[in-house]
Structure 1
Amino acid sequence: MGTQDTRLIVVRGNSASGKSSVAAGLREEFGRNLAIVGQDNLRRTVLREHDRPGGANIGLIDLTARYALDHGFHVVVEGILYADRYGTMLQDLVRAHRGVSRCYYLHVPYAETVLRHATKPDAEYLGHVTADHLRDWYREMDLLPEGMETLIDAASTLDDTVQQVLRESGLDRVSPVDR
């Protein structure tokens, strides 16, 4: 799936660890022809589904990423994507991709996720999602098997993280396609 020229990037981590910001930063730096496959968008907005084992969003994330790669887009899959629920799908996606694939886990301690969460601009979301929710959702070092992820800790700035992913995936050496 995809081509030798496409890039697949997976960005995982706990709530408020910076996953969506990294994906947005990658698109800002790279430009067009970079599809962002966001777990929250597909699960919460498109399907309005709870995050549960065997959820329909798992297959939809997989299909969306494969479709975009098969149509020449570079893809960033981002979300909490718990290893026990999404790990098999992500491993299969990486194995099936013919181009460069890189996976990252943003390791941010719980106390820092609470601080970062408080800076989100969506007041309605902040009113619904509390520190107690973050604690319930938090999983320390929820890594995928086989050491397939690069660990990025909380000391890495957003720009440093974006530049690292661009460099390691090779996107910094690829020209965007103006679609």
Structure 2
Amino acid sequence: MTHLVVLRGNSGSGKSSIARSLQLHQGRGWAHVEQDHLRRKILRERDIDPGLAPAFIEHNVSFLLEHGYHVILEGILFSARYAPMLHRLSTEHGGPSHFFYFNVSFAETARRHRTRPQAAEFTPEEMQTWYQELDLLEEQTEAIIPESSTQEQTLAYIAAQLNTG
């Protein structure tokens, strides 16, 4: 039975770092699907409708789950645009689904952004325009990861949830 792990939250909240660490921690058979890579790099698409990103992400994740991979999907994944796709993924794959929302204030997001490789790609002022506070999904229960949680604590927490669900 495959696991679906969804890591959501604003830019700079730590999702990608946790996803990479979790994939390494869990070992072979775990795929890491990055919203940014699929949407920004492959499609070169803005995160607005109309667009192919939600369907493209859903197709990739479904394909991997159907072929026996556990999947870690991470991205901002705004609820207004991605909730229907995330709900379908959760209900259609048949295995356990784990949703985590990284709740990080804008001030902390901007501080972290200055230390990231993407710091030259967009400014904190641009990030402010797409920042959404506590953008939780309505149809899924999401565990909230607070900004005070270290990478080690967050990784341990998520790994423990995978072992109980």
Normalised TM-score (structure 2): 0.95
Pairing partner for 2:72 from 73, 76, 90: 76
1:144 aligns with 2:137: yes
Deviations 1:123-148 (A, max 9, x none): xx322311101111110000000352
Q: Where does residue 66 of structure 1 map in the other structure?
A: 62
Q: Distance in 1 between matches of 2:137 and 2:110?
A: 24
TM superposition shift of 1:163: 1.3
Q: Where does residue 110 of structure 2 map in the other structure?
A: 114
Tell whether the 8 Å contact from 1:10 to 1:102 is kept in structure 2 after alignment. yes
Flag as ranges the 4+ runs of structure 1 deviating above 2 A.
Answer: none
Q: Distance in 1 between matches of 2:87 and 2:94?
A: 13
Tell whether the 8 Å contact from 2:87 to 2:140 is kept in structure 1 after alignment. no
Deviations 1:149-175 (A, max 9, x none): 11111011111111111111229x9xx
Q: Where does residue 22 of structure 2 map in the other structure?
A: 26
Q: Where does residue 126 of structure 1 map in the other structure?
A: 119
**Percent identical residues:** 41
RMSD of Structure 2 on Structure 1 (CA): 1.4
1:13 aligns with 2:6: no
Q: Where does residue 34 of structure 2 map in the other structure?
A: 38
Instruction: Give the gaps of 5 or more residues in structure 2.
Output: none
Q: Distance in 2 between matches of 1:170 and 1:60?
A: 29
SS of the residue 2:139 aligns to? helix
| Counterpart code for 2:163 | G
